[in-house]
Amino acid sequence: MITSVLVANRGEIACRVFRTCRELGIRTVAVHSDADENALHARMADAAVRLPGTASADTYLRGDLIVKAALAAGADAVHPGYGFLSENAGFARAVLDAGLVWIGPPPAAIEAMASKTRAKQLLGLKPLADVTEADLPVLVKAAAGGGGRGMRVVRRLADLDGELEAARAEAHSAFGNGEVFVEPYVEGGRHIEVQVLADTHGTVWALGTRDCSLQRRHQKVIEESPAPGVPETLTAELRELAVRAARAVDYTGAGTVEFLVGEDGTAHFLEMNTRLQVEHPVTEAVFGIDLVALQIRVAEGCALEALETGPPRARGHAIEARLYAEDPAQGWTPQTGTLHRLAVPRSPDIRLDTGYADGDPIPVHYDPMLAKVVVHAPTRAEAIRKLAGALERATIHGPITNRDLLVRSLRHSEFTTARMNTGFYDRHLPSLTEPTPDPHAPLAAALADSHGRSRFGGWRNLPAQPQVKRYATADGEEHEVTYRHTREGLTAEADGVRVVHADAALVVLEVAGVRRKYEVTRYADRTHVNTTTLTPLPRFPDPTAHHAPGSLLAPMPGTVVRVAQGLAVGGPVQAGEPLFWLEAMKMEHKITAPATGTLTALHARPGQQVEVGMLLAVVDQT
């Protein structure tokens, strides 16, 4: 029997595994980098061990240090989570060689399937060797990991070498392995996967299907189970292929077999992930199981048939949305800062998995996912409505997130009618990110901010002068609002708006006969009004706080990893031309020229650490 588990991971997945371990009476051990010393997963565990080294994600790739940490803390088992070393056969062997229990598949199975190139060969498939124009478009993929890292779509043969180089660098940073390969890119496909669970006694379960077609940068955003609108014949085929793949490598534990289904209904094998998936909660909700608990029991040698009389039966529909600290309207730019508050409506059928608590900082070194919100309902339509409503009512105070995008995606007709595919955001991102600010949110912020601050010392014969405040919305639009103190209280200087109530935390406005509540929360640099984020602006801006036209500022904190070949001061650049690449939160972000002109300044250097707003380059358009 396992008595103590070390999770060789961080954040949300570590917290999720710890939760199940506690329910089973198992002690928990966390590992952490310097940046994660006070992270939720380190605070939540019964014991925590610092991994020496830098604060970067590379810390979690040191398998030797993690094994030492497990032994030092008295753990008798290691759970790898997902990402980092979860599909590293060498790490699995090191855990077993140290006399610890590995809560995962055998190293040989990981070795066979973790490399996508070898997995395809095992199933009789081959990656493209020599790419020609006839093969385009193609997909460059990392052989040793997933999550969109090291993945690039190439539509022009001239771009292939550059994208291969970028993919290798990103894959090496994320997985410690820079191997990549090329395969045909299926346009308009649906990403469908099958959850498998196998024990050491020869039993393999195929636990339904999941649709993960809504993706940005080849990383999943919304997932659901079962995959909607899939014919039963195709579902049966996918389940059979998944079981066959698991049996081919004597698989044990939880794993996922992924497919891309073309518009013609043909299923293309993508890979087998030899670990737990981020989206595993939707399968748990539909089948009423705990996959982590089953992973542990399989690792202890239990037979699945001893726990159940057969695979559990599915019921209802479940959908998961990944909440990211990022700005979808600005090229999915990751955001950092303090997550002041994160709360979703409570319900037995609403689940929040997160690695953050209120007040935690969002570090720059890791993936920007803040949480996963999962709902379960009797039907898909009810699940969509419940999840969209929960996200809309969620309290999220901190950096910009993709919350509005998630709500709009769930309510989009292509999604509600199950006609979506992996090109969903390529087609609809502009409309899904179009700003729709509440026009009265700035007024509510001003009224709440002014409540109790202005008091008159004596009687005055003249009416109070209007007060003016200015705010900027998340998309940079500025708003100026005016209000006045009267004997009856605060009065809005806006047509058709009546102030019903105003205090420091709540403002009630009546507009065209309809009363609306505005909950206001203020922090040092931002004010949150319901779901609107505002930045207070000084009444008289500092005239020196500006940059020359054509200035290119860092949109995020990160590291300059590459500068475009041949880029030099005095040379011409074209609008949209890549100038350099920043790495932030384990992804590369292309920084392009803001306009056509001459490069008059270049401050970015490979290896340079930059902060938000730092001047990187200047393009003179004259």
**Could you report how far apart the first and last alpha carbons of the chain are, in Å?**
73
In a domain, 385, yes or no: yes
Q: What integer pLDDT is reported at residue 66 of this predicted model?
A: 98
Specify whether 159 is located in the same domain as 94.
Answer: no
Q: Would you state the pLDDT for residue 544? A: 53
On whether residue 543 sits in a domain, the answer given is no
Indicate whether 194 and 343 sit together in one domain. Answer: yes
The domain containing residue 172 runs over which residues? 114-184
Domain for residue 109, yes or no? no
pLDDT value for 457? 44
Are 204 and 339 in the same domain? Answer: yes
Query: Does residue 108 fall inside a structural domain?
Result: no
Task: Provide the Cα torsion 560, 330, 145, 115; round to 10°.
Answer: -100
Percent of all residues in the chain with a pLDDT value above 70, rounded to a whole number: 95
pLDDT in tens, 279-288: 999 999 999 9
- Final residue of a structural domain among 103, 124, 150: 103
Q: Do 306 and 248 share a structural domain? A: yes
Q: Which tens digit of pLDDT belongs to each residue from 18-37?
A: 999 999 999 999 999 999 99
Secondary structure letter of residue 329 according to DSSP: G
Structure tokens at 177: 């392995």
477-494 mean pLDDT: 87
Kindly state whether residues 302 and 242 are assigned to the same domain.
Answer: yes
Work out the average pLDDT over 244-267.
94
Helix (H) or strand (E) holding 448: helix 441-450
Average pLDDT, the chain: 91
Phi-psi region of 525 (alpha: psi -120 to 50; beta: other; left: phi over 0): alpha
User: What is the domain-level CATH number for residue 168?
Assistant: 3.30.1490.20
89 vs 196: CA distance, rounded Å? 19
Q: Which residues pair with 209 in a beta bridge?
A: 194
Res 543: pLDDT: 56
Q: Mean pLDDT throughout 354-369?
A: 94
Q: What is the pLDDT of residue 458?
A: 45
Instruction: Report the 10 Å Cβ neighbour count for 295.
Output: 23
- Tell me the pLDDT band of 546, cut-offs 50, 70 and 90: low
| Predicted confidence (pLDDT) at residue 540 exceeds the cutoff of 70 | no
CB within 8 Å of 152: residues ≥ 6 apart? 139, 140, 163, 164, 166, 167
586 and 610 within one domain: yes
Q: Say which CATH number the domain at 218 has.
A: 3.30.470.20
**How, if at all, do strands 4-7 and 77-79 pair?**
parallel
pLDDT at position 32 = 96
| 320 found inside a domain | yes
pLDDT 10s digits, 496-505: 999 999 999 9
Nearest CA to 315 out of 383, 256, 384, 257 is that of 383
**Are residues 196 and 292 both part of a single domain?**
yes
Query: What's the CA gap between 98 and 538, in Å, rounded?
Result: 61
Q: Is the pLDDT of residue 405 over 50?
A: yes
Phi, psi of 255, deg, nearest 5? -155, 170
- Do 125 and 171 lie in one domain? The reply is yes
Amino acid found at 322: R
Give the three-state DSSP class for 298: helix
Looking at 397, 432, 467, which one is the last position of a domain? 432
Quote the CA–CA distance of 311 and 203 in Å, as a whole number: 10
For residue 609, pLDDT over 60 is answered with: yes
The CATH number of whichever domain residue 510 belongs to comes to 3.30.700.40
Is 373 in the same domain as 491? Answer: no
Tell me what the mean pLDDT of segment 118-122 comes to: 75
List Cβ neighbours of 431 (8 Å cut-off, separation of 6 or more): none
Query: Which residues, 6+ apart, have CB-to-CB distance to 469 below 8 Å?
Result: 442, 445, 446, 449, 450, 480, 481, 536, 539
The pLDDT value recorded for residue 525 is 85
pLDDT number for residue 55: 64
What pLDDT is attached to residue 13?
98
Q: Reduced to 3 DSSP states, what percent helix, strand and coil does the chain have, rounded to the nearest 5?
A: 25, 35, 40
Which pLDDT value is given to residue 145? 66
173: in domain:
yes
- Is the bond preceding residue 226 a cis peptide, omega within 30 degrees? yes
Supply the pLDDT for residue 541: 62
Same domain, 257 and 179: no
Distance (Å, whole) CA 287 – CA 232: 18
Rounded to 10 degrees, the C-alpha dihedral 224/154/241/147 comes to: -50
User: Do 227 and 211 touch, CB atoms closer than 8 A?
Assistant: yes
Q: Produce one character per residue of 513-531: b if its CB has 16 or more CB atoms within 10 Å, e if not.
A: eeeeebebbbeeebbbbbb
The residues that are catalytic are 275
Residue 146 has pLDDT above 80, yes or no: no
Higher-pLDDT residue of 391, 576: 391
Give the count of domains, the chain: 5
Q: Computed over its alpha carbons, how large is the radius of gyration of the chain? A: 26
Question: Quick check: is 545 in a domain?
Answer: no
Rounded to two decimals, the pTM is 0.87
The answer to the question of residue 403 being in a domain is yes
pLDDT-derived band at 461 (thresholds 50, 70, 90) equals low
**Same domain flag for 581 and 609:** yes
